[in-house]
Structure 1
Amino acid sequence: MPADASELATEREFLAEARSQLGRMRDRVAALDGSYAGNWVSAEILEATLARRMEQLTDDPEIPLFFGRIDLVAGETSPTGESFHIGRRHVSDPDGEPMVVDWRAPVSTPFYRATAKEPMGISARRRYGFARGHLTAFEDESLTRPELTGDLSDGDADAHSEILEAEIERPRSGPMRDIVATIQPEQDVIVRMPLESTLVVQGAPGTGKTAVGLHRAAYLLYAHRDQLTRRGVLVVGPNKSFLRYIRDVLPALGEIHARQATIEEIVGDHAPVRATEPADVATLKGDGRLAEVLRRAVWSHVGTPEETLVLPRGSFRWRVPAYEAREAVEQVRARDVRYALGAAQLRHALAHRVLVQIEETGDALDDKAWDVLARTKPVRDYAAAVWPVVEPRRLLHRLLSDPEFLAEHADGVLTEDEQALLVWARPPRTAGSARWTTADLVLLDEITDLLDRTESVAHIVVDEAQDLSAMMLRALGRRAATGSLTVLGDLAQATTPWAARDWADVLEHLAKPDGHVEQLTAGFRVPADVIELAARLLPSIAPGLEPPRAVRRARG
Structure 2
Amino acid sequence: AEGTEGAAGTLVGEAALLAALGRARTGRMADVVATIQAEQDRVVRSPLAGVLVVQGGPGTGKTVAALHRAAYLLYTHRTALARRGVLVIGPNAVFLRYISEVLPSLGETDVVLTSLGGLFPGVRATAEDAAGTAVVKGDPRMATVLAEAVRLQQRLPEGTLTVRLEDEDEEVSVPHEVCAAARHRAQSLAAPHNVARKRFVTDMLHALVRARAELTGRPLDEEERRHGPGELWRGPAVRRALDGLWPLLTPQRLVAELLSDAELLASSGRGVLGEDERAALVRESDAPWTTGDVPLLDEAAVLLGEDDSEQRAAERARRAERAEEERYARGVLQILGLDGWDVVDPARLAEAHGGGGDSRTTAERAAADRDWAYGHVIVDEAQELSAMAWRTVMRRAPARSMTLVGDVAQRGSAAGARSWAAMLDPHVAGRWREERLTVNYRTPAEVMEAAGRVLAEVAPEMEPPVSVREEGTPPRAVRARPGALVARVAEAAEEERAGLRASGGG
Matched, 1:165 2:24: no
Match of 2:84 among 218, 231, 239: 231
Deviations 1:393-446, CA, capped at 9 Å, x for gaps: 43334323332221111111111122223223xx4xxx5x44443434443343
- Mapped to 2, the partners of 1:262 and 1:543 lie a distance apart of 31
Q: TM-score, normalised by structure 2?
A: 0.61
- Mapped to 2, the partners of 1:298 and 1:175 lie a distance apart of 48
Matched, 1:211 2:211: no
Q: How far apart are 1:282 and its partner, in Å?
A: 3.4
Matched, 1:255 2:108: yes
Q: RCO higher in 1 or 2 (8 Å CA, sep ≥ 6)?
A: 2
What SS does the aligned partner of 2:150 have?
helix
> Is the contact between residue 201 and residue 488 of structure 1 (CA under 8 Å) also seen in structure 2?
yes
> Is the contact between residue 270 and residue 444 of structure 1 (CA under 8 Å) also seen in structure 2?
no
Match of 1:504 among 421, 443, 457: 421
> Is the contact between residue 117 and residue 123 of structure 2 (CA under 8 Å) also seen in structure 1?
no
Letter in 2 for 1:540: E
**Partner residue in 2 for 1:522:** 438
Equivalence map 1:386-397=2 (5 Å)? 386-397=245-256
Letter in 2 for 1:404: E
Which structure features the higher share of strand residues? 1
> Is the contact between residue 297 and residue 409 of structure 1 (CA under 8 Å) also seen in structure 2?
yes
Matched, 1:415 2:269: no
- Mapped to 1, the partners of 2:85 and 2:247 lie a distance apart of 34
**Partner residue in 1 for 2:146:** 294
Deviations 1:108-166, CA, capped at 9 Å, x for gaps: xxxxx9x9xxxxxxxxxxxxxxxxxxxxxxxxxxxxxxxxxxxxxxxxxx863699437
Q: How far apart are 1:327 and its partner, in Å?
A: 6.2
Match of 2:409 among 484, 488, 492: 492
Matched, 1:462 2:379: yes
Deviations 1:36-66, CA, capped at 9 Å, x for gaps: xxxxxxxxxxxxxxxxxxxxxxxxxxxxxxx
Which structure features the higher share of helix residues? 2
- Mapped to 1, the partners of 2:428 and 2:228 lie a distance apart of 41
Match of 1:443 among 296, 300, 305: 296
What SS does the aligned partner of 1:235 have?
strand
Letter in 2 for 1:287: D
Q: How far apart are 1:302 and its partner, in Å?
A: 1.9
Equivalence map 1:261-276=2 (5 Å)? 261-267=114-120, 269-270=122-123
- Mapped to 1, the partners of 2:228 and 2:431 lie a distance apart of 46
Q: How far apart are 1:482 and its partner, in Å?
A: 4.5
Match of 1:343 among 169, 175, 197: 197
- Mapped to 2, the partners of 1:373 and 1:522 lie a distance apart of 72
Q: How far apart are 1:268 and its partner, in Å?
A: 7.0
Shift of the 338–479 alpha-carbon distance from structure 1 to 2, 3 Å rule, reads farther
Letter in 2 for 1:465: A
Match of 1:222 among 75, 82, 88: 75
Q: How far apart are 1:300 and its partner, in Å?
A: 1.8
Shift of the 186–336 alpha-carbon distance from structure 1 to 2, 3 Å rule, reads farther
Q: How far apart are 1:480 and its partner, in Å?
A: 2.5
RMSD over aligned Cα atoms: 4.5
Deviations 1:508-556, CA, capped at 9 Å, x for gaps: 57x44444241424214044444444444334322443x1342637799
Gaps in structure 2 of 5+ consecutive residues:
4-10, 163-173, 208-221, 307-369, 473-506
Shift of the 555–418 alpha-carbon distance from structure 1 to 2, 3 Å rule, reads closer
Shift of the 333–245 alpha-carbon distance from structure 1 to 2, 3 Å rule, reads same
Letter in 2 for 1:460: V
Q: How far apart are 1:487 and its partner, in Å?
A: 1.2
Equivalence map 1:112-191=2 (5 Å)? 160=13, 164-165=17-18, 170-177=23-30, 180-191=33-44
Which sits farther off after the overlay, 222-231 or 205-214? 222-231
**Partner residue in 2 for 1:312:** none
Match of 1:481 among 393, 398, 409: 398
Q: TM-score, normalised by structure 1?
A: 0.56
What SS does the aligned partner of 2:197 have?
helix
Matched, 1:201 2:60: no
> Is the contact between residue 52 and residue 402 of structure 2 (CA under 8 Å) also seen in structure 1?
yes
**Partner residue in 1 for 2:340:** none
> Is the contact between residue 456 and residue 481 of structure 1 (CA under 8 Å) also seen in structure 2?
no
Equivalence map 1:61-140=2 (5 Å)? none
Shift of the 194–321 alpha-carbon distance from structure 1 to 2, 3 Å rule, reads farther
Q: How far apart are 1:488 and its partner, in Å?
A: 1.0
Q: How far apart are 1:469 and its partner, in Å?
A: 2.8
Shift of the 331–209 alpha-carbon distance from structure 1 to 2, 3 Å rule, reads farther
Letter in 2 for 1:212: A
Letter in 1 for 2:432: H
- Mapped to 1, the partners of 2:429 and 2:378 lie a distance apart of 17
> Is the contact between residue 523 and residue 549 of structure 1 (CA under 8 Å) also seen in structure 2?
yes
Shift of the 512–304 alpha-carbon distance from structure 1 to 2, 3 Å rule, reads farther
- Mapped to 1, the partners of 2:467 and 2:287 lie a distance apart of 53
Letter in 2 for 1:213: A
> Is the contact between residue 117 and residue 124 of structure 2 (CA under 8 Å) also seen in structure 1?
no
**Partner residue in 1 for 2:305:** 452
Query: How many residues of Structure 1 are paired with residues of Structure 2 in the alignment?
Result: 376
Matched, 1:550 2:466: yes
**Partner residue in 2 for 1:30:** none
- Mapped to 1, the partners of 2:229 and 2:467 lie a distance apart of 69
> Is the contact between residue 469 and residue 500 of structure 1 (CA under 8 Å) also seen in structure 2?
yes
Q: How far apart are 1:301 and its partner, in Å?
A: 1.3
- Mapped to 2, the partners of 1:416 and 1:342 lie a distance apart of 32
- Mapped to 2, the partners of 1:159 and 1:272 lie a distance apart of 46
Q: How far apart are 1:297 and its partner, in Å?
A: 0.4
> Is the contact between residue 235 and residue 261 of structure 1 (CA under 8 Å) also seen in structure 2?
yes
What SS does the aligned partner of 1:247 have?
helix
> Is the contact between residue 187 and residue 196 of structure 2 (CA under 8 Å) also seen in structure 1?
yes
Deviations 1:214-258, CA, capped at 9 Å, x for gaps: 122112211222332222222111122222333333222211111
Identical columns (%): 41
Letter in 2 for 1:184: Q
Q: How far apart are 1:463 and its partner, in Å?
A: 0.9
- Mapped to 2, the partners of 1:194 and 1:326 lie a distance apart of 53
> Is the contact between residue 19 and residue 468 of structure 2 (CA under 8 Å) also seen in structure 1?
no
Q: How far apart are 1:389 and its partner, in Å?
A: 0.9
**Partner residue in 2 for 1:402:** 261
- Mapped to 1, the partners of 2:28 and 2:17 lie a distance apart of 21
